Every structure is written in structure tokens, then in C-alpha cells.
Amino acid sequence: MLLWLLVSTSYGATDKAAGVKAKAAAIKEPQYGGTITFARTRAPISWDNYDWIWKHGQDAGFYIEHMMMGDLQKGPRGTNQFSFGGSEYMPPKILRGELLEKWEVKKNPMQIILYLRKGIMWQEKPGVMKAREFVADDVVYSVTRIKNSKKVQQGRMDFVGKMETPDKYTVIINMPEWIAEWPYRLGWGYYDAIQAPEQEKAPGGPAKWENACGTGPFMITEYKDGHSQIYTKNPNYWDSEVIKGKKYKLPFVDKVHKAIIKDEQTTLSSFRSGKLDMMLNVNWKYVADLKKSNPQLLWSRVLSTANFSLCLRMDRKPFDDIRVRRALNLAVNKKEIIDNFFGGNAEMHTYPFPPSFKDVYTPIDKLTPAAKEIYSFNPEKAKKLLAEAGYPNGFTFKAQIANNSQVQLDLAQMIVSYLDKIGVKLVLEPLDYPSWLAVMMRKNHQEAIFLATGQNGPHSGIQKNFMSGQAWNPHIMSDPYLDKTWTDAVENPKFTEKQSVEIMEKLAVYALEQAPAVVIPTSYFYVSWWPWVKNYYGELCAGAQRGAPIFARLWIDQEMKKKMGY
């Protein structure tokens, strides 16, 4: 995936210091006006959060807000406590209120008390709604609607019980069951944006982009299917930014132009010529050439927090046998992939959590022998395991793959080649992304499927990938021990947050030991931007798939851009 699409990211150390230093030195008086242009490969799937589309925040996130967001001042522009790379986990310690002024959690009785910011206004949308104040009833409406969606993920919203509104700025959520990761499910995550009730009543409903409105920094004013999205400044946006001790109203730019460009070379050409102000996913192999042809560019290196893997259906033969699953991993030379395919720009062990998830990541040298072996290359042992499992001559199986990423298609072909050497024939079935997503979500895929997905957080990463009945569990893994251990750790209020996260770390190793997928090394890639883009420090998301709070804080040095000939 591109940034905020199939992959999530983590701010890399290699170029961070130089990039931040250069930007800090270049900070001048903020400028209002101008347009920021960047590109993505994939058009919106739905404008309505009722549809539970993981990329809703990429598109709707510019005009719609959540109750919480990451505090960007705790990132590289401030205290540097957190990276704000991609849609990665937002630990509680770095969260701030977005639509909320503050919040309170009680275990006895089990309640979440939400205190709304006063004076936030809904955008006026002709034919949809008049501008009005955001109030507690809006939260109750929106949360109830996504909870009752036919597409709600299993168990995701069960912790939301009766909601009360003692006044128009307070919401009390009574919890029939405890849930340790409630902020991700209800505060800053993929599906919990607060949507206006007026949209549902408008002709065409919330699924129609022309009806889209929110409380955010921008308003969507133009959408050309498969071509572009234009977001225009919300003049009544509530938030501000303090720069050099002075408070500034946000956003700075008049417009954000999101171009939809599927061809990588076209994107590179547009960026090189200055038609794009930022390129948020530069393949490492193009970096040296870009630095040579455009030495003024600023850079940050990032490591994906989503491992691209070949997920094996554990509910079907031959992958119901762990010996077969382990054999396929032993057949793949992962170090060779890092050295030859990625030119050294990749990490071996990022499954199921990347190194940036420090609280739950176990380094490869500290893994159990069974987990560590997954990363070794031993085709002879692979053949022996296949013979023991009853497949001395190998077998043939099929796997679907989304055809939107040439890198992933090339990696899949390498896996085909490696498996062929132990007598296993892998037949690829490329699909366009919507078809691939539908097949995966409905569990209609073949014996295997290639998948890259962000892990979101310690609890949700284990749940979505490995727990029984989950929509994003392509392995169809159903393990009583894992299910029970996760449930106890997350839904039992006796566990502290620290204890609960420690259990997730152990479950991550346990899941790896089961070899539910052929694990593939994860690459680094780069973020690059022209020096006229000011107040940018390489951040990518302030919540799941949401870059809007970052874009709201950027401005364009229009005089510099003109002097540079663009």
C-alpha cells in the first residue's frame, strides 16, 4: 500500500535528524494561502463511515474529525516522544482531544465520560445542513449508527452500552463489559469519525460525496472519480497552532489537492517537475537518482509497520498442518530478498508487530527457537517436513493478490520461484483492489492470499489477524488458547494497561510460532518534500489513516517556490 493505504509507517532514524534540523532552521513567519498537492494511487471506496472502510480517514479525514488524535507536539516537531508515522499505534500517553476537551474512565461503575470542546461548528453544506454547534447528541447518534452497521466488525462495539447526555457537552458511555483498547475503537481509530445526522437525511445520504461535511480543517469541494479530490479551507475551523510563541488560526493553506495517480513513474515525474509538493511514498531505488537530479528536496526514511505476507488458510488442507506452513517459510530465503530485491533497505522481522511497537516487539534474537526458525532458510528441512506431512512430491495451490502494487507483484513472483524449488507450485490470481478486498473480507479466497495490513495497536493487531471470526483474519486461524488469553487480557478490568500489553507481546510470539503465513521482509521507503513546504517534519498520520491535522499545519512559502522556478 501507499502511505495510509496498504501500509502504515514508522519514522526512520536515518534521515530524521537532518530533515528536522533543516526544517527548523527554515521556519519563518507562517503564510496563509496557496495549495498543497500530493498524490495517492487509490480512489475513495466510501464516504460514509457506516460502511466500515479502513481507508475512510484518508478521504473523509480532511473534513470529518474524531474524538481524539495524536498530539503532534509530542512528535518530531516537539518533544519527539513519538514518530507519527502512518496509521501506527497511538499510545495513550501521546493522545490529545480533538472533538473532546478531556475524558475520564471509571472501572466501578464501568464508564467512559466524554467532555466535548465547546464552540466547535459543523460546516454549512447547502442542501444538507446549516452551520451549527457540535453537541453531545451528535456523538450519541454517530456512535450508535456505526455500532448498528451491518458491516460492524465482530465484537468491536459490544463494550458500548447505554449512552447518557447530562448536558449538551457531556456524554457518558456505560460499558456492559470492560475493553482495554477503547480509545482505538472509539477515539482515534479507523471507523469512529463523528458524522453529522443531517447527512443521512439528505438526498443520496452520506455515501454521496456532495453531502459530505464535518467539523474539520477542510471542506471537500470537488471530486473527480479516479482523478482528484479538492479540499478547501474551512474558515470556521476551531483549532490553532503556536509557532515561536505566537498563536495562529488553522489551516494555513487555501486548498489541498489530492491527485489520484496509479502509475509510479507518472508520480515521480510530477514530483520531480514540482507539480507535486510532496511525495509520501518514494521507493528506495529511486532515492539516489532524485537526490542527484533535485538536490533541494528534503527527506525522511520510514519503515512500514505492515508486513506483506502470504497468508495461509489454516482451515483447509494442506495448510491445516503446521509442518506444511513451516516448510513454506523455510523454503524462502529472506536474507536474499533483503540483499537482492531491496538492496539492503528492509528489515527481516516485523511480524506481527514492527520494531516501532516497542512495548510488544520481541527482537529476533530473543524469539523462541520455534519462532526464530521461521526466518531461517533451510530448503532441505522444508522438503523433509513436506514428506512427513504426506506431500513428498509437493502440491499445487492458488493465492489471490491485489494488482495495484508492482513491488508486491514482484515479491509474489519471488515466492513462486522459491516454493517451486521444493516442489510446491504457487499459482497467482491477480485482482483489482476492490475485488481482492471483497474476496478477503468474505473469506472466499483460495488456499492463500497475499496481504499487507497495518497492525493498529497491540490489542487490535492480535485480534484482527489471528482471532476466530475476525474479518481481517485471512488465515482463518481459530486457536482456543489465543482467543481466551486475548479476551482475558483485554476484557478483564483486573489487568492494568501494562499487564495487558505484556500479554500481547507473548501472544505475538505464540502466533509467529504457529506459522500462519509465509513471512516476507519489510522494506523501508522514503518521504520527500520540496523546501517551500513549511512546518513539516515528516509526520504522516495523527490517527488511523488521517493526515489532515498535519496538512492543516503546513504552509507554502510561495515566494521561495516562485524563485525556484516552480
**In the predicted model, is pLDDT for residue 470 greater than 70?**
yes
What is the tens place of the pLDDT at every residue in 109-145?
999 999 999 999 999 999 999 999 999 999 999 999 9
Other Cβ atoms less than 10 A from the Cβ of 52: the count is 19
Q: What percent of the chain is predicted at pLDDT more than 90?
A: 81
**In the predicted model, is pLDDT for residue 35 greater than 80?**
yes
**In the predicted model, is pLDDT for residue 2 greater than 50?**
no
**In the predicted model, is pLDDT for residue 5 greater than 80?**
no
Average pLDDT over residues 490-518: 94
Q: Which has the closest alpha carbon to 299: 17, 8, 38, 3?
A: 17
- Backbone φ and ψ of 496, nearest 5°: -75, 165
Domain locations in the chain?
Answer: 9-302+525-563, 309-519
CA distance 248 to 315: 56
Predicted pLDDT of residue 27? 62
Query: Position of cell 523455510?
Result: 330
Q: What's the whole-model pTM score?
A: 0.84
Predicted pLDDT of residue 1? 31
Domain spanning 309-519: CATH superfamily: Dipeptide-binding Protein; Domain 3 (3.10.105.10)
Largest Cα–Cα separation, the chain: 72
**In the predicted model, is pLDDT for residue 383 greater than 80?**
yes
Predicted pLDDT of residue 4? 31
Fold of 9-302+525-563: D-Maltodextrin-Binding Protein; domain 2 (3.40.190)
From first CA to last CA, the distance across the chain in angstroms is 29
What is the tens place of the pLDDT at every residue in 329-376?
999 999 999 999 999 999 999 999 988 888 899 999 999 999 999 999
**In the predicted model, is pLDDT for residue 6 greater than 80?**
no
Other Cβ atoms less than 10 A from the Cβ of 179: the count is 22
Is 304 in contact with 87 (CB distance < 8 Å)? Answer: no
Q: What percent of the chain is predicted at pLDDT more than 70?
A: 95
Is 58 in contact with 545 (CB distance < 8 Å)? Answer: yes
